[in-house]
């Protein structure tokens, strides 16, 4: 299995975010990359630099209005007297639609769901290379590889078509799914196993029937992203029945996770996709700083073996997983078990 990653992804270096109203150091740090790279190499993966694909594959998922905003907002922000060093919104609309603000401050509120995704001079390019890593991994699978890993940082699953949020700017898992469709896949399933619900991914495909979205995550009734990820969210219009949320009680461990993984995999089999995207969050780990679930390192290997047991061409896209001693080992456990199971099926 190959891994795709570009060093430019480390240049985005957010300084802070608000947590329960208090400024805290931003946990989505460049150091995550070093630990994930070590984990991928320990699993035997060859690291390959992705190509610059331009904005085309990103624009297949995100609106031109949003892309223009992300590319130019930092420079515009610098012209505001007394503005913060990073772009951080201080106002959010209670409804989106109709008029579009002309001011940088108004647009920041319009396009940024929360204060967890500050934009600096390097953010746009880092996010592009993160997305291009997902594109190359999708292309590898579309052209015959059984699996590929995209080390995407910054992550993506909280980004909607025109909104950043939760450390995410471009939705790399959605971009990979759309790329697989463009490469000939009839249907694609996305399985999100991150601690947090992939609300952006759900939003992008909520009214579509060509992409099935399935998410296992900590119950959002008292956990980010709060407003999405509940079990009664099933899709709408043509997408009704093509979204499945399986929220877990806080601190659920390996056995609880595996118990809900079974109906998730059953739903994916029923959809009969041509390919699978795994939105891999390692923050479900028992020692992750967010502390929402209690999956162990061997638990990630169990999870990977079960998913690989589907026997589907798979793009594994990195989502969350924050700085702790076991971050690299958790990735090694997942990728090692996934490869071993896939090889055993061949």
SS3 letters across the chain: CEEECCHHHHCCCCCEEEECCEEEECCCCCHHHHHHHHHHHHCCCEEECCCCCCCHHHHCCCCHHHHHHHHHHHHHHCCCCCCCCCECCCCCCCCCCCCCCCCHHHHHHHHECCCCCCECCCHHHHHHHHHHHHHHHHHHHHCCCCEEEECCCCCCCCCCCCCEECCECCCHHHHHHHHHHHCCCCCEEEEECCCCCCHHHHHHHCCCCCEEEEEEEECHHHCCCCCCCCCCCCCCHHHCCCEEEEEECCCCEHHHHHHHHHHHHHHHHHHCCCEEEEEECCCCECCCCCCCCEECHHHHHHHHHHHHCCCCCEEEEECCCCCCCCHHHHHHHHHHHHHHHHHHHC
62 is catalytic: no
Catalytic residue among 12, 158, 197, 217: 158
Active site residues: 158
């Amino acid at each position: 299995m190959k891994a795709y990653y570009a060093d430019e992804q480390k240049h985005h270096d957010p300084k802070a975010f608000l947590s329960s109203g208090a400024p805290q150091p931003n946990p989505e740090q460049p150091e995550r990359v070093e630990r994930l790279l070590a984990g991928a190499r320990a699993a035997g993966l060859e690291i390959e630099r992705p190509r610059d694909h331009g904005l085309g594959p990103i624009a297949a998922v995100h609106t031109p209005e949003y892309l223009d905003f992300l590319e130019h907002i930092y420079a515009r922000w610098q012209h505001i007297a007394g503005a913060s060093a990073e772009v951080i919104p201080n106002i959010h609309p209670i409804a989106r639609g109709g008029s579009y603000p002309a001011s940088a401050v108004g647009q920041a509120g319009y396009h940024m769901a929360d204060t967890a995704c500050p934009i600096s001079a390097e953010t746009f390019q880092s996010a592009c290379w993160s997305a291009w890593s997902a594109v190359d991994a999708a292309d590898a699978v579309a052209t015959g590889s059984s699996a590929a890993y995209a080390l995407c940082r910054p992550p993506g699953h909280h980004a909607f078509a025109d909104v950043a949020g939760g450390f995410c700017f471009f939705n790399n898992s959605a971009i990979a799914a759309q790329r697989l469709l463009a490469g000939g896949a009839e249907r694609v399933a996305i399985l999100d196993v991150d601690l947090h619900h992939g609300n952006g991914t759900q939003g992008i495909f909520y009214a579509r029937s060509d992409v099935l979205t399935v998410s296992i995550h900590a119950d959002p009734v008292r956990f980010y992203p709060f407003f999405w990820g509940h079990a009664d969210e099933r899709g709408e219009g043509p997408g009704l029945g093509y979204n499945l949320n399986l929220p877990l009680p806080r601190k659920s461990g390996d056995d609880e996770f595996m118990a809900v993984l079974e109906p998730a995999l059953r739903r994916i089999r029923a959809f009969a996709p041509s390919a699978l995207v795994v939105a891999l969050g390692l923050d479900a780990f028992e020692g992750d700083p967010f502390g929402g679930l209690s999956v162990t390192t061997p638990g990630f290997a169990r999870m990977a073996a079960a998913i690989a047991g589907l026997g589907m061409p798979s793009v594994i896209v990195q989502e969350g997983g924050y700085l702790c001693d076991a971050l690299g080992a958790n990735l090694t456990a997942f990728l090692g078990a996934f490869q071993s199971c896939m090889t055993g099926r061949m």
